[in-house]
């Protein structure tokens, strides 16, 4: 909550990056401090969010799901209805607008599932920026359509073949690229991670999710939620949904991590359940790693949660007990994906399905006058082929 020291959340955060990049992050920080309270910047961003991205997103009362589970009332925050189909657009419009103000002409970004890449390519197309996206080779194979989508939007996609060829390697490669070209380029980081000021900037651009939840629920129910549930990879949609409620101790905040084949199986990405404190990707936080600090190859059915770390503010929320983090397996997530599709006619992203899965466990244990808000961070169209494969159904996309 309160930042004790620049870029720190308790013990966590910091700026652990090579000297070459320090002036670049300082430049971003100065620009952000200048524009964040600039009425003109805020108006431009507000216009983009409302007239282009479709905000505010709906807060939908999932009546059938509520009845079916027989406990707390369930509301779904529909970030899946945003332009480009996920919460990623909130951050990207902010950062690309900032890049424009900084006089940059080129943006680069990492992507896992492709949602952040698609959002960045979209904003770059809209604001006339060159755009290059780094994506693990394994993910370009898993998410072929999103790759083509980025190219349609005018971006160049670089498949990353180093390391485990997933999201962490895409981050490595984007950092390397940024270190070689900073003059005209901004690294548009996709989550509340990396060196300061990124965890702060991304959280600020995402906190609109929680602010809207508060307003919309006050209107619908006249009270605050009892629990807010969101999936966590790096943790941007969760931080966006949580942030406005940190000051309300009655609101339980629950992050759902990807447990892959199970927390006891090596094939998982449950950083809080299995990780330990480390320093990587510019930040001190929790990471899945071995006893010598080698970053572990992680696994999840969800390319967007397939990341061995978590944002530093989440690490602090966990340590202070303000938020809880729970592991959800592939199996539970896939079942939740299918459940929400059938019960509510909403196909959630496989990432968001991790949050839906936990809501299915939690709701029946709560009284009917309690309220749960589940952040549906993205839509599931991109995952249909993967879910079919998981179920052994052969389809050709």
Partner 1 sequence: MTRIAKAFENQKAFIAFVTGGDPDIETTEALIPEMAKAGADLIEIGIPFSDPIAEGIVIQEADIRALASGTTTDKLFDMVARVRQKTDVALVFMTYMNPVYTYGTERFMKKCAEVGIDGVIIPDVPFEERDEVKGYCEAAGIELVSMIAPTSKERIHMIAKEAKGFLYCVSSLGVTGVRSKITTNIAEMVEQVKQVSDVPCAIGFGISTPEQAYEMTQNADGAIVGSAIVKIVAKYGKDCKKPVCDYIREMKTAVAKHNVNQCQETA
Catalytic residues: 88, 110, 377
Nearer of residues 112 and 380 to partner 1, judged by Cβ: 112
Least separation in angstroms between CB 100 and partner 1 = 22
Nearer to partner 1, 171 or 373 (CB): 171
Comparison of 9 and 41: residue with beta carbon closer to partner 1: 9
- Contact at 8 Å (CB) between 357 and 333? yes
Tokens of 36: 């964040």
- What's the closest the beta carbon of residue 175 comes to partner 1, in angstroms? 5
Helix (H) / strand (E) containing 375: strand 371-376
Q: Give the C-alpha distances (Å, rounded to integers) separating 85 from 191, 275, 320, 379.
A: 16, 30, 33, 6
# binding residues, partner 1 (CB under 8 A):
37
* Cβ atoms of 122 and 131 closer than 8 Å: no
Q: Measured between alpha carbons, how far is residue 156 from residues 58, 97, 108 in Å?
A: 33, 20, 10
As measured in angstroms, the least distance from the Cβ of 24 to partner 1 is 7
> Which of 9, 15, 244, 253 is the binder for partner 1 (CB under 8 A)?
15
Q: Does 24 bind partner 1 (CB under 8 A)?
A: yes
Which of these, 280, 301, 281, lies nearest to 290 by C-alpha position?
280
**E strand spans, 34-184:** 59-61, 73-78, 106-111, 130-136, 156-160
Distance in Å, CB of 137 to partner 1, minimum:
15
Shortest distance in whole angstroms from residue 95 CB to partner 1:
20
Tell me how far, at minimum, the Cβ of 20 lies from partner 1, in Å. Answer: 4
Cβ distance to partner 1 smaller for residue 185 or 377: 185
Q: Which of residues 197-256 bind partner 1 (CB under 8 A)?
A: none
Closest to 386 (Cα-Cα) out of 151, 113, 81, 148? 113
Can residue 20 be called a binding residue for partner 1 (CB under 8 A)?
yes
C-alpha angle with apex 209: 140 to 312, nearest 5 degrees? 65
Q: Which is nearer to partner 1, 194 or 210 (CB)?
A: 194
> Positive or negative, the Cα torsion across 79, 81, 85, 90?
negative
* Binding characters for partner 1, 154-193, by CB under 8 A (x = yes): --------xx----xx--x--xx--xxxx-----------
Q: Which stretch binds partner 1 (CB under 8 A): 11-19, 91-99, 335-343, 386-394?
A: 11-19
Stretch that binds partner 1, among 16-24, 74-82, 86-94, 135-143 (CB under 8 A): 16-24
Sole binder of partner 1 in the list 9, 12, 17, 315 (CB under 8 A):
17
If the CB atoms of residues 175 and 230 are measured against partner 1, the closer one turns out to be 175
Torsion, Cα 241 244 247 250, to 10 degrees, reads -50
Residue in this structure with the two tokens 């651009």, named with its chain if needed: 205
* Shortest Cβ 314–partner 1 spacing (Å): 18
Instruction: Give 194 or 255: the residue with its C-beta nearer to partner 1.
Output: 194
Long-range contacts of 144-147 (CB under 8 A, 24+ apart): 144/397, 145/382, 145/385, 145/397, 146/111, 146/113, 146/114, 146/115, 146/117, 146/118, 146/382, 147/114
Interface of this chain with partner 1, residues 283 to 312, rule: CB under 8 A: 284, 287, 289, 291-295
198 vs 287, which CB is nearer to partner 1?
287
Question: Which token pair is 216?
Answer: 């919309």
- Outline where DSSP puts E strands in 240-330: 252-260, 276-280, 282-287, 323-329
Determine which helix (DSSP H) or strand (DSSP E) holds 231, and give its type and residue range. Answer: strand 227-232
* 23 binds partner 1, rule: CB under 8 A: yes
Q: Does 33 bind partner 1 (CB under 8 A)?
A: no
Does residue 109 bind partner 1 (CB under 8 A)? Answer: no
Taking the complex as a whole, the smallest distance from the CB of residue 289 to partner 1 amounts, in Å, to 6
What torsion, rounded to 10 degrees, do the Cα atoms 191, 192, 193, 196 define? 130
Establish if 103 lies at the interface with partner 1 (CB under 8 A): no
Write the interaction track for partner 1 spanning residues 263-282; mark x where CB under 8 A is met and - where it is not.
Answer: -------------xxxxxxx
Residues found near partner 1 in the complex (CB under 8 A): 14-24, 162-163, 168-169, 172, 175-176, 179-182, 276-282, 284, 287, 289, 291-295
């Amino acid at each position: 909550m309160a930042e004790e020291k620049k870029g720190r959340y308790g013990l966590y955060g910091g700026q652990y990056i090579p000297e070459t990049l320090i002036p670049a992050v300082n430049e971003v920080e100065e620009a952000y401090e200048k524009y964040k309270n600039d009425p003109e910047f805020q108006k431009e961003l507000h216009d983009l969010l409302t007239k282009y991205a479709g905000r505010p997103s709906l807060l939908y009362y999932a009546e059938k799901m509520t009845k079916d589970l027989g406990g707390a009332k369930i509301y779904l925050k529909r970030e899946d209805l945003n332009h480009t189909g996920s919460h990623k657009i909130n951050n990207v419009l902010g950062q690309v607008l900032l890049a424009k103000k900084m006089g940059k002409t080129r943006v680069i970004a990492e992507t896992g599932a492709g949602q952040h890449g698609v959002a960045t390519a979209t904003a770059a197309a809209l604001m006339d920026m060159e755009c290059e996206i780094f994506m693990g080779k394994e993910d370009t194979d898993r998410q072929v359509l999103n790759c083509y989508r980025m190219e349609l939007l005018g971006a160049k996609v670089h498949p990353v073949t180093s390391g485990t060829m997933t999201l962490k390697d895409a981050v490595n490669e984007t950092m390397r690229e940024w270190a070689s070209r900073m003059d005209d380029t901004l690294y548009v980081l996709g989550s509340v991670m990396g060196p300061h000021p990124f965890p702060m900037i991304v959280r600020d651009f995402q906190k609109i999710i929680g602010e809207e939840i508060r307003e919309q629920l006050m209107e619908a129910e006249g009270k605050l939620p009892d629990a807010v549930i969101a999936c966590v990879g790096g943790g941007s949609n969760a931080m966006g949904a949580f942030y406005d409620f940190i000051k309300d101790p009655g609101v339980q905040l629950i992050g759902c991590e990807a447990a892959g084949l199970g927390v006891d199986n090596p094939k998982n990405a449950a950083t809080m359940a299995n990780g330990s404190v480390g320093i990587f990707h510019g930040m001190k936080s929790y990471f899945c790693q071995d006893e010598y600090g080698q970053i572990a190859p992680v696994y999840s059915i969800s390319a967007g949660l397939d990341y061995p770390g978590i944002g530093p503010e989440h690490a602090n929320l966990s340590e202070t007990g303000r938020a809880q983090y729970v592991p959800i397996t592939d199996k539970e997530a896939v079942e939740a994906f299918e459940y929400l599709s059938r019960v509510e006619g909403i196909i959630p992203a496989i990432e968001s399905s991790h949050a839906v899965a936990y809501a299915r466990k939690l709701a029946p244990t709560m009284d009917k006058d309690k309220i749960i808000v589940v952040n549906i961070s993205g839509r599931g169209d991109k995952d249909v082929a993967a879910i079919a494969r998981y179920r052994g159904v052969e389809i050709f996309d």
